[in-house]
Amino acid sequence: MKAVQYREIGKPPEYVDVEDPTPPPGGMVIKVLASGLCHSDEFVMSLDEKTFREAYGYELPMTLGHESAGEIVELGEGTKGVEVGDRVLVYGCWGCGVCDLCARGNENLCRRGMTSPGFAEPGGMAEYMAVDSVQHIVPIEDLDPIKMAPLNDAGLTPYSIIKRFRHKLRAGSTAVVIGAGGLGHVAIQLLRRMSDAQGIALDLKGPKLQFAKEVGAHHALVSEPAAAKKVLELSSGRGADLVLDFVANGPTPDLAVACGGIQSAVVFAGAGSGHAKVGFGIVPWEMELSNSLWGTRLELMELVEMAKREPLEIRTTPFPLELAPMAYRMLHEGKIDGRAVCVP
């Protein structure tokens, strides 16, 4: 079959022939119908060899794609609970299943370290993909797989964060979203659905700001140091109650902290190497700073239910699988609105 693989450190991904997968016992093979491209793929492909292999434990070749939707075409030995022909999302966090965090549903935070299809296991940038267990899928019935695939990460990550800090968002509250891209444009919509807070999007000048308003931001500002003062003005001097930094690189962590107010939460959700200082008198009182890594499979199910009731406007730009290397280049250059999705 055809697949898109990262094969050489520092080189772009390639469209290649690989062997067809076989269904693992208790698992299945799906025919991939859609697979989203993510900045975290780019992040991984930007790592030097030592970090890639030793810090992350990754190996080459790597079949990309951690936001996949498809149709089950073959079941492994003893697989129960699903049928050939079912359409599913592939949950991206494959935990050990044994530790206390996995027992709680937080496979994304597995104490033994999760593996992910698209990184440590072959992902969905391929015609077919093996899934190890029925516990790593979410049925989508007749929902559009191209719109659903990005829910795996671009939807799940902001959803999980907003659920974690929803208690901070009341009428009169403000939420700031830094980076109105794949994750950010879903976050803006989820904030509207899940809270009464006003949403302010920060991004680079130009079409991204217009895009942020189209998907529901109350205000859209140019992401620069002066934006923090504007956020303060727009929130009657309180500052934001929740700041979601989907870039978390270069100057954005400092900007994120500067936008937050007393008792706010600031979350670094982007796969970047940026960081912020925290300490007595350095940040507003009782500001909570944290990071995030995906969400639970149950939260992914909740998102699918939400999309069934009233679709989220997931902006997708479909590409045929063979054009994935070009799509990654466009993503890198900031030329993609919303989410690029490969359709094998």
Binding of Zn ion by 96 (CB under 5 A): yes
Q: How many CB atoms lie within 10 A of CB 178?
A: 28
Binding of Zn ion by 23 (CB under 5 A): no
Q: Which is nearer to Zn ion, 38 or 209 (CB)?
A: 38
Give the contacts of 206 (CB within 8 A, at least 6 positions apart). none
65, 95, 181, 295: residue in contact with Zn ion (rule CB under 5 A): 95
Binding of Zn ion by 40 (CB under 5 A): yes
Binding mask 301-330 for Zn ion (x = CB under 5 A): ------------------------------
For the bound state, the minimum distance from the C-beta of residue 112 to Zn ion, rounded and expressed in Å, comes to 5
Give the contacts of 236 (CB within 8 A, at least 6 positions apart). none
Contact in structure between 186 and 155 (CB atoms under 8 Å): yes
Side-chain-side CA neighbours of 112 within 13 Å: the count stands at 10
Binding of Zn ion by 99 (CB under 5 A): yes
Stretch that binds Zn ion, among 35-43, 141-149, 317-325, 333-341 (CB under 5 A): 35-43
Q: Which is nearer to Zn ion, 122 or 239 (CB)?
A: 122
Nearest to 74 by CA among 87, 63, 85: 85
Q: How many CB atoms lie within 10 A of CB 327?
A: 23
29, 37, 38, 162: residue in contact with Zn ion (rule CB under 5 A): 38
* Cα(89)–Cα(97) distance, integer angstroms: 19
- List Cα–Cα distances, 116 to 9, 67, 275, 279, in angstroms: 19, 10, 25, 34
* Cα(280)–Cα(297) distance, integer angstroms: 37
Q: Which is nearer to Zn ion, 218 or 332 (CB)?
A: 332
Binding mask 43-72 for Zn ion (x = CB under 5 A): ------------------------------
Binding of Zn ion by 292 (CB under 5 A): no
Binding of Zn ion by 102 (CB under 5 A): yes
Stretch that binds Zn ion, among 96-104, 129-137, 184-192, 317-325 (CB under 5 A): 96-104
For the bound state, the minimum distance from the C-beta of residue 106 to Zn ion, rounded and expressed in Å, comes to 8
Please give the residues from 172 up to 191 whose contact with Zn ion meets the rule CB under 5 A. none
Q: How many CB atoms lie within 10 A of CB 64?
A: 27
Q: Which is nearer to Zn ion, 75 or 110 (CB)?
A: 110
Contact in structure between 235 and 210 (CB atoms under 8 Å): no
End-to-end CA distance of the chain: 10
For the bound state, the minimum distance from the C-beta of residue 197 to Zn ion, rounded and expressed in Å, comes to 25
Please give the residues from 103 up to 162 whose contact with Zn ion meets the rule CB under 5 A. 110, 153
Contact in structure between 265 and 242 (CB atoms under 8 Å): yes
Residue 176: DSSP 8-state: E
For the bound state, the minimum distance from the C-beta of residue 102 to Zn ion, rounded and expressed in Å, comes to 3
Binding of Zn ion by 204 (CB under 5 A): no
Q: Which is nearer to Zn ion, 108 or 195 (CB)?
A: 108
Site residues for Zn ion per CB under 5 A: 38, 40, 95-96, 99, 102, 110, 153
